[in-house]
């Protein structure tokens, strides 16, 4: 398996508001040869939770990242902590059966609990509870009521579904006809979380090499990873590159493709933020090309969206993104924008994560499709447990059975781009 492209794209190095408040990491590149129990590709939430879990059991673990810890989606995302998956529990029960759907729900709840417990000891992660979801039409709001009722009766999750007037008091946009509030979700400073995880993994004994791209994987009883200036001989490999993974693991690359999403951060609005949100919660909505937003501790409004289904970044991120923000919140028209940045995430055809054994001693976790802040961490832990011989969690995730994109790696991007153009048109004209 050899690399066909790099995910180091123009525009991805724009500084985020997160990076402005976190000291940059400076770990050495790998030079020479290593022999380890487990090699992890990618120093984001998935890879770092895997490394931490394994190192705590005494395994010899190395983490290799082409950039630096937290550089990818883990350090660039909107920081939103969701419950469950991109498909509701009723959908999962219908397609997988109640037993498998319940097991998946339990994993997703463990994901949130794991994140909350870790962040409780790290003040700079600024974890806050509460996430809302805005709806644009009556059918979506009715579906939200059905799902909330099902979750209350069968899972004990209390989601408050609000009509237009009540939701408008919470999320002060004229665009929504109602929405829901999940107090068990929340939001976090994602880069601070990733950097804290890296330090925790190192304290447990893992070694992290930054600016060390894996260019080739040779499978066998032991796996060989090649990098520009070194080589790793590993008993097991955990692949956690997600949207930044080069084309070196065909079983993953056929099922997961990178897409780009962008975020703008306004100037601080300490005296005006209640004009937008009544409470310090995160919000996403039911546009297929989703809008997502929240306030950070300095009360900058962080507004994300405008997904781009291509490998390149637009030359102008800000104009269209700010237009979307001002369309939702006219009261923010003319507000100063201090930061604009973008990044890549991994998406699958079903928008459900692909967490699976892709070789006898190779596991992969990717394709979280915008819901990875919590789920990616539990995926890392589950894959580590599978290396240790505990396969229950991995088997639960593998029940999702994520298909390959039509046309494989060659046609996945153009086919999905056409589909996204259609969905973006539907979002604009409202049907």
Q: pLDDT by residue (tens digit) across 322-373? A: 999 999 999 999 999 999 999 989 999 999 999 999 999 999 999 999 899 9
Confidence at residue 54, expressed as pLDDT on a 0 to 100 scale: 98
Q: Are residues 180 and 275 in the same domain?
A: yes
Domain count within the chain? 2
Q: Are residues 278 and 332 in the same domain?
A: yes
Confidence at residue 422, expressed as pLDDT on a 0 to 100 scale: 42
How many Cβ atoms are within 10 Å of 4's Cβ, its own excluded? 10
**Looking at the domain assignment, is residue 299 inside a domain?**
yes
Q: Are residues 262 and 247 in the same domain?
A: no
Instruction: Return the CATH number at 148.
Output: 3.30.9.10
> What band does 409 get if pLDDT is binned at 50, 70 and 90?
low
Q: Are residues 335 and 300 in the same domain?
A: yes
How many Cβ atoms are within 10 Å of 139's Cβ, its own excluded? 10
Instruction: Return the CATH number at 233.
Output: 3.50.50.60
Q: Are residues 70 and 199 in the same domain?
A: yes
pLDDT digits (tens, 9 = 90+) for 14-40: 789 999 988 888 899 999 999 999 999
Report the pLDDT averaged over residues 368-385: 97
At residue 8, does pLDDT exceed 90? no
Q: Are residues 179 and 267 in the same domain?
A: yes
Q: Are residues 312 and 394 in the same domain?
A: no
At residue 265, does pLDDT exceed 60? yes
Cα distance between residue 382 and residue 49, in whole Å: 9
| Residue 179 three-state SS | strand
**Looking at the domain assignment, is residue 92 inside a domain?**
no
**Looking at the domain assignment, is residue 369 inside a domain?**
yes
Q: Are residues 146 and 289 in the same domain?
A: yes
**Looking at the domain assignment, is residue 108 inside a domain?**
no
Confidence at residue 413, expressed as pLDDT on a 0 to 100 scale: 56
**Looking at the domain assignment, is residue 152 inside a domain?**
yes
Cα distance between residue 345 and residue 194, in whole Å: 15
Confidence at residue 13, expressed as pLDDT on a 0 to 100 scale: 56
DSSP letter assigned to residue 359: E
Which of 347, 365, 400 delimits the end of a domain? 347
Which of 307, 324, 347 delimits the end of a domain? 347
pLDDT digits (tens, 9 = 90+) for 197-248: 999 999 999 999 999 999 999 999 999 999 999 999 999 999 999 999 999 9
DSSP letter assigned to residue 278: S
Confidence at residue 12, expressed as pLDDT on a 0 to 100 scale: 52
Confidence at residue 374, expressed as pLDDT on a 0 to 100 scale: 98
> pTM score, two decimals?
0.92
**Looking at the domain assignment, is residue 116 inside a domain?**
no
Which of 291, 325, 347 delimits the end of a domain? 347
E strand segments, 207-319: 207-209, 216-218, 223-227, 230-239, 257-266, 282-285, 292-295, 301-308
Q: Are residues 285 and 335 in the same domain?
A: yes
pLDDT digits (tens, 9 = 90+) for 55-71: 999 999 999 999 999 99
Q: Are residues 159 and 213 in the same domain?
A: no
Token duo for residue 363: 């596991």
DSSP letter assigned to residue 9: -
Confidence at residue 353, expressed as pLDDT on a 0 to 100 scale: 97
Q: Are residues 146 and 167 in the same domain?
A: yes
**Looking at the domain assignment, is residue 90 inside a domain?**
no
At residue 416, does pLDDT exceed 70? no
Confidence at residue 425, expressed as pLDDT on a 0 to 100 scale: 46
Confidence at residue 10, expressed as pLDDT on a 0 to 100 scale: 41
Helix (H) or strand (E) holding 386: helix 372-387
Confidence at residue 418, expressed as pLDDT on a 0 to 100 scale: 52
Taking CA atoms, 204 is separated from 22, 121, 165, 324, in Å, by: 22, 16, 50, 44
Q: Are residues 248 and 267 in the same domain?
A: no
Which residue segment(s) compose the domain that 330 sits in?
Answer: 129-186+258-347
**Looking at the domain assignment, is residue 392 inside a domain?**
yes
Average pLDDT value for the chain:
91
């Amino acid at each position: 398996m050899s690399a066909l492209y790099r995910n180091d794209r123009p525009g991805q190095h724009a500084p985020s508001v997160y990076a402005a408040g976190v000291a940059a990491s400076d770990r050495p590149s790998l030079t020479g040869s290593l022999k380890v129990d487990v090699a992890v590709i990618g120093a984001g939430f998935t890879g770092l939770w895997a490394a931490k879990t394994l190192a705590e059991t005494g395994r010899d673990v190395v983490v290799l990242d082409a950039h630096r810890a937290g550089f990818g989606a883990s350090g660039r995302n909107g920081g939103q902590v969701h419950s469950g998956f991109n498909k509701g529990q009723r959908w999962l029960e219908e397609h997988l059966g109640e037993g498998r759907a319940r097991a998946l729900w339990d994993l997703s709840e463990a994901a949130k609990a794991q994140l909350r417990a870790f962040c409780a000891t790290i003040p700079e992660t600024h974890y806050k509870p509460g996430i809302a979801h805005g709806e644009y039409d009556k059918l979506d709001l009715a579906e939200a009521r059905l799902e909330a009722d099902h979750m209350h009766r069968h899972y004990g999750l209390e989601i408050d579904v609000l009509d237009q007037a009540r939701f408008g008091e919470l999320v002060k946009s004229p665009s929504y006809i109602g929405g829901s509030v999940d107090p068990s979700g929340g939001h976090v400073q994602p880069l601070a979380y990733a950097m804290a995880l890296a330090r925790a993994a190192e304290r447990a004994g893992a070694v992290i090499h930054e600016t060390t791209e894996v260019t080739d994987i040779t499978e066998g009883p032991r796996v060989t990873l090649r990098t520009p200036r070194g080589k790793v001989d590993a008993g097991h490999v955990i692949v956690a590159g997600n949207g930044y993974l080069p084309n070196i693991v065909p079983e993953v690359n056929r099922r997961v493709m990178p897409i780009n999403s962008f975020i703008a951060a306004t100037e601080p609005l300490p005296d005006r933020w209640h004009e937008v949100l009544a409470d310090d919660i995160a919000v996403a909505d039911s546009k297929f090309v989703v809008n997502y937003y929240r306030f950070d501790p300095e009360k900058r409004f962080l507004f994300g969206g405008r997904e781009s289904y291509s490998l390149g970044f637009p030359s102008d991120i800000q104009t269209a993104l700010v237009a979307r923000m001002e369309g939702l919140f006219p009261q923010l028209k003319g507000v100063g924008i201090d930061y604009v940045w973008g990044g890549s995430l991994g998406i699958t055809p079903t928008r459900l994560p692909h967490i699976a054994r892709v070789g006898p001693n190779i596991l992969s976790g990717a394709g979280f499709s915008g819901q990875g802040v919590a789920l990616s961490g539990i995926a890392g832990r589950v894959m580590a447990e599978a290396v240790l011989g505990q396969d229950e969690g991995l088997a639960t995730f593998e029940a999702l059975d994520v298909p390959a994109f039509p046309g494989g790696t060659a046609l996945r991007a153009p086919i999905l781009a056409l589909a996204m153009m259609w969905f973006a048109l539907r979002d604009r004209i409202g049907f």
